[in-house]
Structures are given as structure tokens and as C-alpha cells.
Structure 1
Amino acid sequence: MVWKRWRRLSFDERNQVIHCTVKKEFIRRMDVLLVEGETKVITNFTVSPASGRFRTSGHVYKIVLAQTTTIRTDLDLPPNVLGLHPVRFNDIHDGKLNPDFLIDVFGQIVEIGNVEILNVSKKQTKRLTMVLRDTNDVRLNCVLWGEFAEQLEAFAQNLHEAVVVFVLRFGKIRLYQNVWSVGNCYNCSIVMNNPDLPEVIAFRDRLPKDGVTLSYTHPNQLTIVNSVSVRADFLTHSPRRTISEIVSASENIKCVTMATIMSIDTEYGWYYMECQTCQKKVLPVDMEAVKEESPQLDFSKKLWKCPKCEDYVDNVVPVFLLHFRVMDGTGETKFLLFDKLAMEVVNTTAAELVDNFDEFKRDNMCRIRRSCQ
């Protein structure tokens, strides 16, 4: 079953971040109790593995609030826990960060380009590019889209300060033409300019004292640019083939086809377990044999063998491996979809389906036991 979700982040007293999810039917009640910036004590919730792209937290688990969850205010907890974890620009340029995770960025704005209007998917969208620098004078491109670009444009046009510290919360990193950059991620990002936060004030004090200030040219007119996404470009310029043409092809081809999904073939399973460290498939192990071989290991969780890490691991998550039976007017075949593409079709994650399936099995076993008493 697929649920619509409502998402927030939670922080503990050590400033650690974890993703929080609410099912659709509980949103109205939770929306009154959970206010951004307020400190709350949350009890009676479930925990499930976190997965998917553009995750707001690097935590391997997420909190799922349910009907029995209780939320209360505790004045003894520190009210200024924000969960900000700015990353180093060098770590972005060196490719050390996983693009699946959203990040926090602090940077002094040293240059703002002109605002462009792009025609993306037949809609006009504003784009603004700027250059940030960190306390080590490392530069990083930042690209803002839509309302975020408009906000910064309005801020720059009425600017009275020479040094502006820009904060991007939950931004995504992107590699384009071998150049790394950051930008907003749809509408879940938060943008702040010179916010009065202790972390930002400390960052500002550590900036180089070299007199570098913001360079911004007020545009006389907006630049109109025609642009299409990579996916739109592929769909437009790739050849179209029927299923019979694909099946009879004598060489590898890149093409577009239109077909109807008949069913999902689960004969060989529909997911596999993946190591969250290296994102590679892990293999099940004989726990009894491992206990005899390596008694020093922690056996509180089920262990798996990761061929790439060359070690036993327990930080694993289920990911999709779906075989779709499809057909068109010329024939039928099977398409294999891995995790990210499969999630776009089924509109949920493998981890959530596995959790629901395990809960279903537990409920049925309880009913069987009760009927046998």
C-alpha cells in the first residue's frame, strides 16, 4: 500500500539529525503539535530504514509517527538546537560527498550573476548563479531556481552590506561538466542571508580579512534561455522502437519505447539487500558459522557479507530489483528496473514495502496462534 507522507526533521540534544515521516491520516493532528523551531519530546513512534535520493539526513533510520505517538513541550531542553551541519567546500570539489544526501552550506557571496529565464518543460523558470567562498577562500558555484532565485535577486537589489553570508539548508550537490556545484532541492530547501545565528556569526568572524566584498551587476534585462532537462532531451532525440524491434535487435541500442505494464514478475524476488556504505549488493551469511569463525563480532543484528567492503556488515537496506512484464501491439517482453527508476513507478521505497510485508506476516501469525488456542 502506498501512503502520502508529511515530512519534518528532528534533532536531539547532541544536534544529531533524523528524518521524520507522518502518514496522511495523521497530518492534521501532527501539524498543530509540531512547529518548526520549537523543542518537543516525542514518544511512542516506530523506526524504519531510510533510503532513496535527496535524503535530508545521513542517519540510516527514520522516525515514523503513528496514531499512538505523543508530543509534548519540555522547557528543560535547549531551545536553540538547529541541527546545522555545514560541509567543507573541498569535500564537495573532491567528490567525497554522496549526492543522494542533502547538505548544509555556509558561504560568503562574492559574485552574483544575471537572472535568466529558462523554458523548462514548457514553463518559464528563473535561474540565478552565484559564487560562494568559505573561510579558506575556496570558491563554489551555487545555482538557485524559481522562488529561491527571486528571493536572492530581490535581496541583492536592496543590499546595503558589503559582506553577505549565505546559508543554504538542505541543498543538493551536482556534478555538471566535471564541475561541482550546489543548489536548492525543489521546495524543501531553506535559504537565509546574514541570519543572526551563532554558527553564522562564528563563520563570518573566521572569513579572510582581505577586503573581498560582493560583486553584483544589476541587470538591465533578463536573459531568455531555451533549456530542456536531460530526460526531456533523451525522450526527444532518441529513436523510437517497438518491442518486437527491441527483441530482434542484433546490437545494443539506446531507444524510447511505449508499452503497457502487464504485471511484476516476482519469481526471482523483487528486491535485494544493499550495503549503505558502498551501495553494493550484500550476501547472506550463516550466522552460526560466523559466530564460530569470529566470536568477537557484534551479533545483536543480522550480519551480511559485503564483497566490496570485504567485511561483515549490518548497515544494509532493501532496494528494488523489479522485473516488469510489458507489452505493446507488436509483442511482449520483460524490463528490469533498479531501485531509483522502480521507485518512480511504484511510488514508494523497497524498505517501506518490506516493513509493511513483515508487519502483515506478524499480524497473520498472531491470528493463527490465537485461533489455535
Structure 2
Amino acid sequence: MAANNGFTDLSSIKPFKTAWKIKVKIIHTWKQYNTYTRETIEAILADVSGTLTHATIKKQQLTKFQRLIVHGEWRTIENLQLIRSAGKFRATKHPYKMSIMNSSIISKCPPLSNDFYLDVATFEDILDEDVLNEHILIDVLGQVVNVGEIKTSSQNDKPKKRLEVELRDTSDQRLSCTLWGKFADTMWDACQKLAAGSVVYLLRCAKINTYNGERSVSNAFDMSLLEINLDHPIVGDFIAEYITFLAKQSTERILKKEKDEYINQYPMSTISDLFEATLEGKMLIVCTIYHIDMEFGWYFFMCLKCKQTCYLIPKKENEPVSKTKKRVWYCKTCNQDVNKAVPMYILCLDVMDTTGETKFILFDTNAQKIVNHSITELLEGNFQETFKFLATIATANITEGKESYKVSYVEMGDAITNVDDIEDSEIQPDPKDAISIYQVLN
């Protein structure tokens, strides 16, 4: 049990006794009315470790304690009753809910932290039905991107204003939100003054809803707290992260445009055009893979220093196994042993179109896309798929009649790989040093 000078962390309090002593910050308060307890004051409390719990002050204790329940201030509380937290509107994840008794003692204490103790859920977790419990309220942070019109709908058989807004997170994932009553008015006024794109919204104690398989959030009656453009580091971090995301997206669009322009400068050709070429260059070929040549290995080792092929030095016969001894490679280009090398994919594909057949050699990134098949499919060749390849015509293809071509680009449907720098290098992997699929299986 975590205790400090007689005080217990909220994570450690249990209902087997009432003589608990805690130090907490009042994070959020609201009034609640029902036919059983009538008016109550509800509060969310946090200890210095960030654990949150829900507390209730019933009508009988309001006169005694109401003036001490002040949002944002720290309090010590002694003697409290705990019951199991249940229902469809659980304010926190804490398994127990706190109830203030006549014998409870609430007193002021110096602040221990200025933290808001937010527990913000990601959009990804909210939208995944298997991650978050709909009955536990959450904190939601997002930028408003679309705002509907205020409408009047029925809530609990009473007419109430309703506003639909669309939020986005820092990766531009979208989430629908419905605001009711005063929350709808607050959001509408903010969006009219600031424009939707300038509103960063924090909704504490938001309710997750599921309708027709789609998840959204809404305010949970008066339990929720809506903050617009809150002056808090989490909002500044949100804006900074989103700006970084936009910059990255912009860079990716520019790079894609440049890459498309680079690829499209080469003519669409056929395999027979490759055979008839008299000059070095590149051609775009649309053809079908019908087999993977098993004579070639599946990967080779590249020296990290010179980016050329290196060869794994085998262990000496009867050499004892040592966990501390590092693997060593020999690099012809560096003319020395090296201990830093990385494996790189290499695939030799048999391809065909209506004009002929040939072999394409793919390296690393491009090869990884092709390897996205089962071992059985690769071994037996039980797949025939059509791709667009950017094939390189080398001197050996022209003067020596070599009928295998390096590929520096491959496009498969909507997935486009990056051009591998290795494709246009002079690396010549030795098949004897590559690891074949038979070695992997055996």
C-alpha cells in the first residue's frame, strides 16, 4: 500500500475501511440532480501521481463541505466511503467511487502541482471498439475542421440544441462529435468568432457512442467540461505536432511529384524493346511475374562503409561457439575485414509480356514488395501478378547479349516503392554468398 506521511495514493484505496487520508486536487466539479439523492456535487479528484477518482457530496453534506470544493485547489480528505464504480457514465477508470460522509474531514493544503491531470485518449483508440470501454468517460483533444448547423433534437424526451462537429488529430485522423445544450452554444460561438480551423477543443469527461458500427463522442450531460483553445502545454504540443505533420505531408507530396516526373520521362516499352536496345538507358515495362529463379539467393551482405557487397567469413572448423565474438565479413572494395554489414534483399524474377520473356533483378525495397507472398507461393510459383518495372539497360545487355536487367522501380496497384540507390550502383552480389530459400527451410 503506497502511503506517505499517513497519506495514501488513490490507486491504493479500497472499500474495506473508511479511515483513509488522501491529498488531492479538484480537477472538475458539477452539480447533479436525480430522484433518489436529489442535488449532489460531483467532483473528479487527482493525486500527485495522476490517478483520478470520482467523488460525491450528497445533499446532507452540502452545507458543511460545498465551500471547500473549489475547482483547481488542493485538499486533504480524511474518512471516506468507497463503493464499486458502475453504470454507463463512469467518470474515471478508478474501480471505486468515493462518497463524502458526515464524519469526513476536508481541509485546505498547499498545492503540490499545477498539472491539469488530463487523460487524453487517442482517436485511434476511440475508434477501435476493442480498446476503450464505452461506459468510462474520456478526455478528447482535437482541432475542429467542420461545423454543422445548430438543430433542436430530443434528449431524454426534452427538446435540446444539438451541434455536430468534426475533429482531427495531429495525424489528420477524423472523429465525429455531438454537443448538446450549452456545450453546443459554446462551440458555435467560438467557431463563429475564430473560424473552425482555429479552434482546438478539449472535452473532459466525453462519452463514447457507437451507432451502426461507427464510433463518435459527445458531452455526457453536465458531467463534461468543454475548453476552447486552452492555455496549456498539451495544446501547444498538439499544434506543434500538427504543424510538423503538415510539413511532412507537404514534403512527401513534393517528393512524389518529383519522383513521378522522373519515372514518367521514360517511354512505355516491351520486353522485345529491351532486347533491341542499342543504347544504355531505362525503359518502363508492364509485365507479369510467372516464376522466381531459385538458382539465385535471397539476400546478400552490404558493407556499411562503402555500400558494396561483402562476404561473410565462415567459422573455423571445430571452433567453440562464443556469444561475445562478433561476425566478420570481408569487403573486396575496402580490401579488409569489416564487422558492420547489413543483409539486403535480392530477387531474380522470370517475367513475360506478349512480346517475350526475360529476367529482372530486384534489390532490397523493391524486392520486399514482391516477397509479400507465402513461402509456398514463392517456391511453387503459384502466383502471376502484373507490375510496372523501370528496367535498366546496361552495357552488358547491349554488347554481351545479357538477358537479365536490374530494376530500380516497381509499382503495384496503389503501392509505389522508392527508387533504391543500390539499383544504379555497381554492386554485383555473388549468388554463392547469398542465402537461398532452401537453406532457410533446411
Name the TM-score class by shorter chain: 0.5 to 0.7
* Match of residue 172, structure 1, among 186, 189, 207: 207
> What is residue 310 of structure 2 aligned with on the other side?
none
Could you list the structure 1 runs, at least 4 aligned residues long, displaced by more than 6 angstroms after superposition: none
> What is residue 189 of structure 1 aligned with on the other side?
224
Indicate yes or no: 2:186 matched with 1:146: no
Indicate yes or no: 2:64 matched with 1:29: yes
Deviation at 1:23, TM superposition (A): 2.5
Deviation at 1:7, TM superposition (A): 1.5
Whole-Å separation in 2 of the counterparts to 1:39 and 1:90 = 33
Change (3 A) 1:134 1:162: closer
Aligned residue pairs: how many?
210
Deviation at 1:153, TM superposition (A): 1.0
Whole-Å separation in 1 of the counterparts to 2:200 and 2:133 = 25
* Match of residue 97, structure 1, among 111, 121, 132: 132
SS of the residue 1:196 aligns to: coil
SS of the residue 1:166 aligns to: strand
Letter in 1 for 2:105: T
Alpha-carbon contact 2:80-2:99 (below 8 Å) kept: yes
> What is residue 45 of structure 2 aligned with on the other side?
10
> What is residue 228 of structure 1 aligned with on the other side?
none
Indicate yes or no: 2:116 matched with 1:82: yes
* Match of residue 52, structure 1, among 87, 90, 103: 87
SS of the residue 1:140 aligns to: strand
Change (3 A) 1:90 1:121: closer
> What is residue 68 of structure 1 aligned with on the other side?
103
Q: Determine which structure has the larger strand proportion and give its number.
A: 2
Whole-Å separation in 1 of the counterparts to 2:120 and 2:144 = 15
Whole-Å separation in 2 of the counterparts to 1:138 and 1:192 = 21
> What percentage of aligned pairs have identical amino acids?
33
Change (3 A) 1:7 1:123: closer
> What is residue 242 of structure 2 aligned with on the other side?
207
Alpha-carbon contact 1:137-1:208 (below 8 Å) kept: no
Change (3 A) 1:122 1:24: closer
17-26 or 165-174, which deviates more: 17-26
Bigger Rg, which one = 2
Letter in 1 for 2:146: E
115-124 or 17-26, which deviates more: 115-124
Whole-Å separation in 2 of the counterparts to 1:47 and 1:92 = 29
> What is residue 155 of structure 1 aligned with on the other side?
190
> What is residue 75 of structure 2 aligned with on the other side?
40
Letter in 1 for 2:236: I
Deviation at 1:133, TM superposition (A): 0.9
1:112-163 deviation digits (Å, cap 9, x = unpaired): 1122222556643221111111122211001111111111111111116843
Indicate yes or no: 2:169 matched with 1:134: yes
In structure 1, runs of 5+ residues without a counterpart are: 212-373
Alpha-carbon contact 1:15-1:82 (below 8 Å) kept: no
Deviation at 1:105, TM superposition (A): 0.2
Whole-Å separation in 1 of the counterparts to 2:85 and 2:119 = 19
Alpha-carbon contact 2:202-2:227 (below 8 Å) kept: yes
Letter in 1 for 2:60: E
Whole-Å separation in 1 of the counterparts to 2:150 and 2:189 = 11
> What is residue 20 of structure 1 aligned with on the other side?
55
Whole-Å separation in 2 of the counterparts to 1:64 and 1:121 = 27
Letter in 2 for 1:112: V
Question: TM-score, structure 2 length as denominator?
Answer: 0.45
Whole-Å separation in 1 of the counterparts to 2:135 and 2:105 = 31
Whole-Å separation in 1 of the counterparts to 2:164 and 2:95 = 33
SS of the residue 2:143 aligns to: strand
Change (3 A) 1:192 1:178: same
Whole-Å separation in 1 of the counterparts to 2:242 and 2:118 = 19
Deviation at 1:3, TM superposition (A): 3.9
> What is residue 350 of structure 1 aligned with on the other side?
none
Question: Structure 2 matches for 1:278-357, cutoff 5 A?
Answer: none
Q: Which has the bigger relative contact order, CA under 8 A and spacing at least 6?
A: 1
123-132 or 160-169, which deviates more: 160-169
In structure 2, runs of 5+ residues without a counterpart are: 1-35, 248-442
SS of the residue 1:69 aligns to: strand
43-52 or 100-109, which deviates more: 43-52
1:233-291 deviation digits (Å, cap 9, x = unpaired): xxxxxxxxxxxxxxxxxxxxxxxxxxxxxxxxxxxxxxxxxxxxxxxxxxxxxxxxxxx
Question: Structure 2 matches for 1:220-259, cutoff 5 A?
Answer: none
Whole-Å separation in 1 of the counterparts to 2:138 and 2:85 = 16
Alpha-carbon contact 1:136-1:208 (below 8 Å) kept: no
Whole-Å separation in 2 of the counterparts to 1:74 and 1:200 = 28
